[in-house]
Amino acid sequence: MIDRPDAPHPWINYLGTGDFIGIISNTAGGYAFYRDARLRRLTRYRYNNVPVDEDGRFLYLRDDADGSYWSPTWRPTRRALEEYSCRHGLGYTSIASSRAGIHACATYLVPLQTTVETWSLELTNRRDAAAQLSLFSAVEFCLWNAHDDATNFQRNLNVGEVSVWDRTIVHRSEFRERRNHVASFSCSEPLAGFETRRDAFLGPYRGWSAPRSVEQGTLTHSIGVGGFPIAAHHVRLTLHPGETKRVLFVLGYHELEKDPKRQQSGPSIPNPRAIEAQIAPLLTADGFDRALRDLRSYWDEKLQTLQVETGDVDVDRMVNIWNPYQCGVTYTVSRSASRYESGIGRGIGFRDANQDLLGCVHMIPALARQRILDLASTQLASGGAYHQYQPLTKQGNNAIGSGFNDDPLWLIHAVCAYIKESGDWEILEEQVPYGDDASQVEAIYGHLIRAANYTLDRLGPHRLPLIGRADWNDCLNLNSHSLDPDEPFQTVPVADGTVAESVLIAALFCIVAPDLAEIASRRGDGRTAQQLSRANGAMRDVVRENGWDGDWFLRAYDADGAAVGSSSCDEGRIYLEPQGLCTMAGMGIDDGRARRALDSVAEQLATEHGLLLVQPAYSGYRTNLGEISSYPPGYKENGSIFCHTNPWIVIAECMIGRGDRAWDYAQRINPSHREAITEIHECEPYVYAQMIAGRDADDHGKARNSWLTGTASWAYVAMTQWVLGIRPTFDGLVIDPCIPAGLQRFSVRRTYRGTRYEIRVSNPDGVCRGVASMHADGVPVEGACLPVFDDRRIHVVDVRMGTAT
Ligand code: BGC
Ligand code: NOJ
C-alpha cells in the first residue's frame, strides 16, 4: 500500500499473466502491449518526458456545478487529493482517493486468458447533496510499432484511423493494409460524447493535465484520421448522497479475420460484432468481479507451491509473495518493458530467460518447458546461441547476434533445474531445430551436449574458456577495443578473440558439467558422461593453476593476456562474480581457497547496502575492458552493488556453512528490509532492483533498474534452496539448511512433484548447518534426501538440526 502519490519514482506493477501486459504506476501511468512491447504497442508512453510518468490511463472527474475537475488517480492533473492510497496486488492495482466529497476507487486488471485490460471505477457521493458529475476517460494509441511510432512522423501523422460504434472506439491504423489487429476502448455507460482526436480533446498547446474539453465539460465527437488518434469517453452521472455507481472501461487487443478479397484492394473495416463479443462480458461489474476472483485463485495456487514461516517479516514477505511474483513477471517480460527498459531495445535474452526460469519453474512448469524449447530453437548449430530473440516471432535477433560465450551453458543449467523440479526426463527427447539452420533438428539432449562442447572447443592460452563478446558481465568487453563514440558496445565488431579468457565461464562450466554428466550416464551414454567428467576435472585444475590470485579468484585475462581482477591490477583488483560462481562449482572448498575468497569479499566488497561488483572501480575509460569502464565509479557494472551477483555469494557462504553471513548478505539487498530507508533506496520496496549505487557514488544506497533483473530468481533460489535449504535434485528434495545460529525454527510448505511436504525444522543446538535427524510421517529418513512420494498426499517432515552424534 502506497500512501502518497508522489513516491520517489513512479512505483509500478504489471497487469497480465500471458499475452496482454500492462505496466501501471501508483498513479495509473504506463502503457499496454500485446506480447511484444515493440511490435504490438497499444498505447503511447514517452520515457524521457516531464513531468515524469505523464502518459497512461487518464481519468478525470468534473463537478458540473462549478466546473472544477481533478484526476482520481492524481495524475495527470496532480490536483491535491484529500485521501489517497494505491494498492499494488498480484496482477491488479487499485487506487483510491477522495476530493470534494467524491470518493473514487479505480481498479485495473487483465482478466486471465484474455487480451484486454479492464478498469473498474467506483464512485461514491459522500456529500449531503446530489452531485452532477462528468467523468472523462482517455487513452492515447500508439501506432503499433513503438520504435516507428517514436521516429517516423512524416508517415505516422498520416496513417491514423479510428471507428466508433456506440460505446466502443476502435483504433484501426494500418488495418487497411497488412495488419489484422485493432485496439479498442469501451465504456459500460451510455456516452454523452466521445473524442478520437488528441488535438480536439486537449486543445491547442495544452497537455493532459488541463484538457480544454474537460475544462469545458463537452466532447466534440471528432473522428480522427491522421494526427494523433486517442479514445476518450464522456459519461454524465448524477450521484445522490451516499450513492455509489460503477463504471467499467475495457482496453482491448483483437486479431480479426480479414476478408482476403478486400485485403487485395480498398479499405477493410474490422467487424464490430467480433470485437464487441470479446468485450461485452467484461464490461459488467459481475464480469469484473469474477475476473478479480479468478486472478486471485490463479496467484494463490501458484504461491501455494512454496510458503515459509521464518519469523522474519521481510524474509517471509519476499519469499511468500513478492519475490515469486517478481520472478513470474520477469519470466513473462524478460528485459523488454519496465521503467528502465523501453520495450524497444531488447526482446528475450538467452542467458536472462534461462536464469529467470530458475525462480519460477516450480510455479509454472509447463510454461518453463515451452520456454526451454523456444530458447533451444534459437541455439546455433555451433552450440552457441543468439543472444536475444523477439517474443512475437521467436526468431533470433540478428542485430545483436551471438558470441556471448556464457550463453549456451545457461541452457544446461535451466534444463537441469527443470528436470530436478518436475522429474520430466522426456524433455530431453524433444526434437528442436537450430536457430541458424532449421534443417538441423536434434533432441534437447543433443543441444545440451553441443552447448558444453561449444565451451570446450573454445579454450584460450591458459586453457580457460574464451570470453567472446562478453560473458555474464555484458560490460566486460575484452575483445572490442572501441574508441568510436557511435559504436554500441553490444554490437561493435569484435576482434577474433583467441586470447581473452573468462574464469566466470570456467566456473559456470564446472557448475553444469556434473549435472550433464549425470544426465548422460542415466541415459546410458557412458562415453559422454566420462568425457564431461574428465573435462570438468581438467577445468578445475586449470582454475586452480591459472584462475587463483592468492586471496581470491581471478576474473579474466584480457586480449593481451593480462590478468583482470587481480591484485596486480591498479584498479579492478577484485571482482565479485568468480568468488560466488567458483565456490558454487565447489572449487576451493576442501583446501580453504573458497573461504579465503569469501573473506576477501567481506573485507573488500561488502557495504551496508550489499556487495560491490568490483573494487576499486575504474576511474577512467579503458579500451581493453570496454563498457564497464564507461560508467562513473559506483554505477552499474563499474562497482555498483549489482544485485544479481549477491545471491551467488549467499549460496557460496551456505556452501561453506556460514549461515549468519549468508542471511545477513541476503537482508542487505532485500527490498522489504530496505523499506526503512526508502528515502535512500528510492525504488519500489517490494521488488529487487538490478543495482544499488556503490560506495564510490555520491548516492551510495540508491537503487535503479527495478523489476526486470536476474536478481529476482537468484535471490529466491538462494533463500529457498540454500539458506532454508529445501533443494530439488534429480532424485527428490534435499533438506540442507544453512541458517543463522540464532534461528531456532522455521517451517516450509512445499508442493513437489504432486506431493505436499509440510517441513518443520528445529535448531535446538543453535547450529548454522547440519541435519542431525529427519523423519517423514514419523519414520526416520536416511540421508538428506526426501523421497518422491508421488501420491498427492500430505507428508509431515520433522527435521532436527544439530551436530551429528
Ligand atoms: C548494461 C548491462 C546490460 C547490457 C545489455 C549494458 O548497457 O550495463 O547491464 O547487460 O547493456 O545489453
Ligand atoms: C543485465 C543483462 O540483462 C544480463 O544479461 C547481464 O548478465 C547483466 N546485465 C550483467 O551485465
- At residue 267, the pLDDT reads 56
Which bound ligand lies closest to the C-alpha atom of 626? Answer: 1
Side-chain-facing half-sphere of 544: CA atoms under 13 Å: 14
What is the C-alpha separation between 197 and 719, in angstroms, rounded?
A: 52
Q: Could you tell me if the CB of 341 is within 6 A of ligand 1?
A: no
Instruction: Give the separation between CA 521 and CA 104, rounded to whole angstroms.
Output: 63
Mean pLDDT of 437-454: 98
**Amino acid 487: pLDDT:** 87
**Are 640 and 692 a contacting pair, CB within 8 Å?**
yes
Instruction: Say yes or no to pLDDT of 353 above 70.
Output: yes
The ligand with the least distance to the CA atom of 335 is 2
129, with CB counted inside 10 A (0-12, 13-18, 19+), is exposed
Q: Tens digits of per-residue pLDDT, 297-344?
A: 999 999 999 999 999 999 999 999 999 999 999 999 999 999 999 999
Is 577 a pocket residue for ligand 2 (Cβ < 6 Å)?
Answer: no
103 confidence band (pLDDT: 50, 70, 90): very high
Candidate of 334, 350, 352 to mutate for ligand 2, largest count of ligand atoms within 8 Å of Cβ:
352
Query: Looking at ligand 1, which atom is closest to the CA of residue 642?
Result: 9
Nearest C-alpha neighbor of 61 from the set 141, 140, 128, 124: 124
The per-residue pLDDT for 360 is 96
Query: Does residue 266 have a pLDDT over 60?
Result: no
Q: How many CA atoms lie within 13 A of 626 on its CB side?
A: 28
Report yes or no: 409 and 509 within 8 Å, Cβ to Cβ: yes
Dist. CA 658–CA 651, nearest whole Å: 10
What percentage of the chain carries pLDDT values higher than 90?
Answer: 92
Q: Which residues contact 583 (CB under 8 A, 6 or more apart)?
A: 589, 594, 597, 598, 651, 652, 655, 656
**Which among 394, 392, 316, 330 has a CA at the least distance from the CA of 361?**
330
Residue 598: what pLDDT?
Answer: 99
Q: What is the pLDDT of residue 694?
A: 98
**Across residues 274-298, what is the average pLDDT?**
95
Q: Which protein residue has the closest C-alpha to ligand 2 atom 10?
A: 473
| Mean pLDDT score, 671-692 | 98
> How many whole angstroms separate alpha carbon 716 and alpha carbon 88?
20
- Going from the C-alpha of 790 to that of each of 15, 119, 166, 417, 794, the distances in angstroms are 35, 42, 55, 19, 10
Query: How far apart (Å, rounded) are the C-alpha atoms in residues 769 and 741?
Result: 8
Residue whose CB lies within 8 A of the most ligand 2 atoms, among 472, 555, 705, for a mutation test: 472
Q: Which ligand is nearest to the CA of 406?
A: 2
- Please report, to the nearest 10 degrees, the dihedral formed by the alpha carbons of residues 587, 591, 592, 597 taken in order: -40
pLDDT of residue 262: 57
> How far is residue 227 from each of residues 128, 167, 646, measured CA to CA in Å?
44, 22, 49
Task: State the cell numbers at 155.
Answer: 508517415
Rounded CA separation 221/193 (Å): 6
Task: Give the C-alpha separation, 90 to 66, whole Å.
Answer: 39
For residue 645, give the DSSP letter: G
**Ligand 1 near 140 CB (within 6 A):** no
Q: In ligand 2, which atom is closest to the CA atom of 642? A: 10
Q: Is 708 in the pocket of ligand 1 (CB under 6 A)?
A: no
Does residue 637 have its Cβ closer than 6 Å to ligand 1?
yes
Q: Quick one: pLDDT at residue 271?
A: 81
d(CA 629, CA 107): 45
Ligand 1, atom nearest to 345 Cα: 12
Residue 268: is its pLDDT beyond 70? no
To test ligand 1's pocket by mutation, which of 400, 472, 474 has the most ligand atoms within 8 angstroms of CB? 474
User: Tens digit of pLDDT for each residue in 48-94?
Assistant: 999 999 999 999 999 999 999 999 999 999 999 999 999 999 999 99
474 is catalytic: yes
Cis ω on the peptide bond leading into residue 272 (within 30° of 0)? no
SS3 content of the chain, % helix, strand, coil (to 5): 30, 25, 40
Using the mean position of ligand 1's atoms as its centre, give its distance from the Cα of residue 350 in Å.
14
Q: HSE (CB half, 13 Å, CA atoms) of 674?
A: 28
**Who contacts 312 (Cβ-Cβ below 8 Å, separation ≥6)?**
none
Look at residue 734 and give its three-state secondary structure. strand
**CB neighbours (10 Å) of residue 343?**
24
Q: Which of 352, 474, 558, 696 is catalytic?
A: 474
Alpha carbon separation from 706 to 590, 711, 712 (Å, rounded): 38, 10, 10
229 phi and psi angles, rounded to 5 deg: -70, 135
HSE of 202, CA atoms in CB hemisphere, 13 A: 18
Atom of ligand 1 nearest to the CA of 705: 9
Q: Which letter does DSSP use for residue 664 in this model? A: H
Q: Which atom of ligand 2 is nearest to the CA of 351?
A: 5
For a substitution probing ligand 2, which of 474, 476, 576, 640 has the most ligand atoms within 8 Å of its CB? 474
Cell numbers given for 472: 555474464
349 lines ligand 2 (CB under 6 A): yes
Q: Separation of 216 CA from ligand 1 center, angstroms?
A: 48
Tell me how far apart the alpha carbons of residues 675 and 347 are, in angstroms, rounded to a whole number. 31
Q: How far does residue 256's CA lie from ligand 1's centre (Å)?
A: 38
Task: Please give the Cα distance from 618 to 72 (Å, whole number).
Answer: 47
Residues paired with residue 459 on neighbouring β-strands, in sequence order: 465
Which residue puts its alpha carbon closest to atom 5 of ligand 2? 352
Task: Say how many Å lie between the CA of residue 636 and the centre of ligand 2.
Answer: 10
What percentage of the chain carries pLDDT values higher than 70? 99
417-434: b or e for each residue (b if 16 or more CB lie within 10 Å)? Answer: bbbbbbbeeebbeeebbb
Nearest alpha carbon, ligand 1 atom 7: 475
In whole angstroms, what is the distance from residue 611 CA to residue 272 CA?
56
Mean pLDDT within 747-774: 97
Q: Determine the distance separating the centroid of ligand 2 and the alpha carbon of 691, expressed in angstroms.
A: 11
CA of 629 to the centre of ligand 2 (A): 15
Pocket of ligand 2 contains residue 637 by CB under 6 Å? yes
Expressed in angstroms and rounded, the spacing between residue 588 Cα and the centre of ligand 2 is 26
Query: By the 8 A CB rule, do 174 and 159 touch?
Result: yes
Question: What is the distance, to the nearest Å, from the Cα of residue 568 to the centroid of all Cα atoms in its chain?
Answer: 37
pLDDT at site 794: 96
Query: Stretch 752-765: mean pLDDT, rounded?
Result: 97
Q: Spell out the SS3 assignment of 143-204.
A: EECHHHHCCCHHHHCCCCEEEEECCEEEECCCCCCCCCEEEEEEECCCCCEEEEEHHHHHCC
Tell me, in angstroms, the distance from the centre of ligand 1 to residue 36's CA.
Answer: 20
Nearest to 444 by CA among 351, 515, 533, 379: 379
Closest ligand to C-alpha of residue 345 is 1
- For 96, the 3-state DSSP assignment is strand
* Ligand showing the shortest atom-to-Cα distance for residue 334: 2
Residue 605 has pLDDT above 60, yes or no: yes
Mean pLDDT, rounded, of the chain: 96
Ligand number with the minimum distance to the CA of 490? 1
Q: Which atom of ligand 1 is least distant from the CA of 637?
A: 8
pLDDT of 270 reads 80
Of the candidates 139, 164, 116, 57, the residue with the CA atom closest to the CA atom of residue 277: 116
Gap from CA of 576 to ligand 2 centroid (Å):
14
Helix (H, G, I), strand (E, B) or coil at 59: strand
475: CA distance to ligand 1 center in Å?
6
Atom of ligand 1 nearest to the CA of 490: 12
Q: What is the mean pLDDT of residues 734-753?
A: 98
Helix 444-456 / helix 407-422 crossing angle, nearest 10 deg: 140
Residues 6+ apart with CB under 8 A from 309: 316, 746, 747, 748
Residue labelled with grid coordinates 457521493:
125
471 alpha carbon, closest ligand: 2
Task: Please tell me the residue having the least CA distance from ligand 1 atom 4.
Answer: 474
Q: Please work out whether the CB of residue 474 comes within 6 Å of at least one atom of ligand 1.
A: yes
- Confidence band, pLDDT 50/70/90 cuts, at residue 260: low
> Contact, 547 vs 582, CB < 8 A?
yes
**What are the distances in angstroms from CA 248 to CA 28, 135, 228, 251, 281?**
15, 12, 24, 10, 11
Cα(325)–Cα(328) distance, integer angstroms: 5
pLDDT for 261: 55
Q: Is residue 471 in contact with ligand 2, taking CB distance under 6 Å?
A: no
- Ligand 1 within 6 A of CB of 490: yes
Say yes or no: CB of residue 475 within 6 Å of ligand 1. yes
3-class secondary-structure state, position 540:
helix
Nearest Cα neighbor of 207 from 23, 97, 50 is 50
Q: How far is the CA of 234 from the centre of ligand 2 (A)?
A: 46
**What is each CA distance from 805 to 89, 390, 736, in whole angstroms?**
47, 56, 17
Q: Length of the chain, please?
A: 805
Atom of ligand 2 nearest to the CA of 472: 7
Ligand 2 atom closest to the CA of 352, numbered from 1: 5
Rounded distance between C-alpha atoms, residue 311 and residue 539, angstroms? 42
pLDDT digit string (tens) for 584-599? 999 999 999 999 999 9
Record the cell numbers describing residue 171, joined without a space. 483504433
Residue 42 has pLDDT above 60, yes or no: yes
The pLDDT value recorded for residue 7 is 97
List all residues 6 or more positions away from 488 whose beta carbon is below 8 Å from its beta carbon.
Answer: none
Task: Note the pTM of the prediction, 2 decimals.
Answer: 0.97
Of the candidates 155, 233, 235, 144, the one whose C-alpha atom is nearest the C-alpha of residue 194 is 233
Atom number, ligand 2, closest to the C-alpha of residue 335? 3
Spell out a b/e string for 274-311, using b for 16 or more CB atoms within 10 Å of the CB, else e. Answer: ebbebbeebbeeebbeebbeebeeebeebbebbbbebe
**In the prediction, which pLDDT does 215 show?**
98
691 Cβ below 6 A of ligand 1 = no
Would the CB of 387 count as within 6 Å of ligand 2? no
Residue closest by Cα to atom 7 of ligand 2: 472
Mean pLDDT of all residues in 210-230: 95
Q: Report yes or no: 25 and 12 within 8 Å, Cβ to Cβ.
A: yes
Bridge partners (DSSP) listed for residue 309: 747
